[in-house]
Amino acid sequence: MLRRKALAAAVALVAAAGTVVGVNTADAATYPNPGVVTGSINVHDPGIVKKPDGTYLIAHTGNNITLKTSTDRTAFRDAGVAFPSGASWTTSYTGGSANLWAPDISYRNGKYFMYYAASTFGSNHSAIFLATSSTGASGSWSNQGLVIESVTSDNFNAIDPNLYVDPSGRWWLSFGSFWSGIKQVQLNTSTGKRLDSTIRSIAGRGGGAIEAPFLFRHGSYYYLYVSFDLCCRGASSTYRIMVGRSTSVTGPFVDKNGTAMTSGGGSEILAGHGSIHGPGGQSVFTDSDADVLVYHYYADNGAARLGINLIGYDSSGWPYVY
């Protein structure tokens, strides 16, 4: 995906990875390896949806958004790109590149919704767009236009979108990277666009390395998953997956120690270990066997790979990966 950072601030923040005050970290030796996946597994920032027919569709960062499918959540195959004719409406944000980032994909009301980002590395001149499709297939996606943008004078970065529909039927879009952190806006349920001008802050690290929010409900809690530290450096990447929770969809989200995620809090549930480097860019969904964590990581040779693990919950309701 090649995420766009305020690099100088990030390097200073994570020079000693895992030592940020207020952040819970676990023993990386206890983390499981990704589950077995085969076939076309070179991905970055995977978004995933289980289709009504029981098959799986992944959309991920790539030229014109890359698609993959699977019948069993193990063997994946290429399925083309979302926009085979290009996405000309995004190029003023990408500098002319076809590379589009971090798609979030879901199926609602008989239609597929995909929010995705357009930007350049290190810049917050960025935009989140919406596309819809009746099938999810390559070439079937229709541009629904701009949802939110950020410009260089803004204190946020409009990338890494995630749609969450709460039990009351309200739509929320979480997004963000670096700058002042993770933001949230409410969407109009009819259009999928912004409902009002309110922008909420739901997580941050004082301008440092946080991105890729994903909001997910389990039991009585809303869990906010994010990626800390640095991606896009191959086997040198320090990405790790963190989580906090709240009883409200808009927060405040806190970690296991009670530290607010707006103050740098977050409990680590997966980090690099052995030949698994920089896991992050995560999505979560409920399948027939368990809640499932889908993410990318880097192999020893620097290639980005698909990671899939199951999620369990401890006696206090905190998620862990297995």
Secondary structure of 171-224 as H, E, C letters: EEEEECECCCCEEEEEECCCCCCECCCCCEEEECCCCCCEEEEEEEEECCEEEE
Could you tell me if residue 223 is inside a domain?
yes
Could you tell me if residue 117 is inside a domain?
yes
> Domain residues for 305?
7-321
Could you tell me if residue 294 is inside a domain?
yes
Residue 45 annotated in active site: yes
Determine the pLDDT at residue 257. Answer: 97
Closest CA to 156 of 4, 12, 296, 14: 4
- pTM tops 0.85, yes or no: yes
Determine the pLDDT at residue 30. Answer: 87
CA angle 316, 271, 267 (to 5 degrees): 30
Could you tell me if residue 52 is inside a domain?
yes
Could you tell me if residue 126 is inside a domain?
yes
Token duo for residue 284: 């979560």
Percent of the chain with pLDDT strictly greater than 70: 91
Q: Specify the CATH number for the domain of residue 18.
A: 2.115.10.20
Amino acid identity of residue 135, one-letter, is T
Closest CA to 262 of 210, 189, 212: 210
Question: For 294-311, how does the pLDDT look when each residue is reduced to its tens digit (9 = 90+)?
Answer: 999 999 999 999 999 999
Could you tell me if residue 30 is inside a domain?
yes
Q: List the beta bridge partners of residue 75.
A: 38
Closest CA to 296 of 117, 44, 116: 44
For residue 75, the SS3 value is: strand
Q: What is the DSSP letter of 160?
A: S
Counting the structural domains of the chain, the total is 1
* pLDDT-flagged residues of the chain (< 50): 1-25
Determine the pLDDT at residue 239. Answer: 98
Q: What is the DSSP letter of 295?
A: E
> Can the peptide bond before residue 161 be classed as cis, meaning omega within 30 degrees of 0?
no
Could you tell me if residue 2 is inside a domain?
no
Per DSSP, the residues of 243-289 read: EEEESSTT---B-TT--BGGGT-EEEEE--BTTBEEEEEEEEEE-SS
Length of the chain: 322
Percent of the chain with pLDDT strictly greater than 90: 91
Of 104, 211, 229, 268, the active-site residue reads 211
Average of per-residue pLDDT values in the chain: 92
For residue 2, the SS3 value is: coil
Determine the pLDDT at residue 22. Answer: 38
Residue 234 φ then ψ, to 5°: 60, -135
Rounded Cα gap, residues 296 and 280, in angstroms: 6
Closest CA to 32 of 273, 279, 315: 273
Question: For 219-236, how does the pLDDT look when each residue is reduced to its tens digit (9 = 90+)?
Answer: 999 999 999 999 999 999
Strands laid side by side in the 240-246 sheet = 23-24, 266-270, 240-246, 221-228, 210-218
For tokens 């409902």, the residue is 195
User: What DSSP element (H or E) covers 305?
Assistant: strand 304-313
Rounded Cα gap, residues 233 and 314, in angstroms: 33
Q: List the beta bridge partners of residue 294.
A: 283, 308
Contacts within 8 Å (CB) and 24+ apart, 192-200: 192/113, 192/130, 192/132, 192/144, 192/147, 193/130, 193/144, 193/145, 193/147, 194/147, 194/148, 195/171, 199/156, 200/250, 200/251
Q: How many of the other CB atoms lie within 10 Å of CB of 5?
A: 23
Could you tell me if residue 1 is inside a domain?
no
Closest CA to 87 of 49, 130, 36: 130
Quick one: CA dihedral 172, 177, 180, 181, positive or negative?
positive
Q: What is the DSSP letter of 61?
A: S
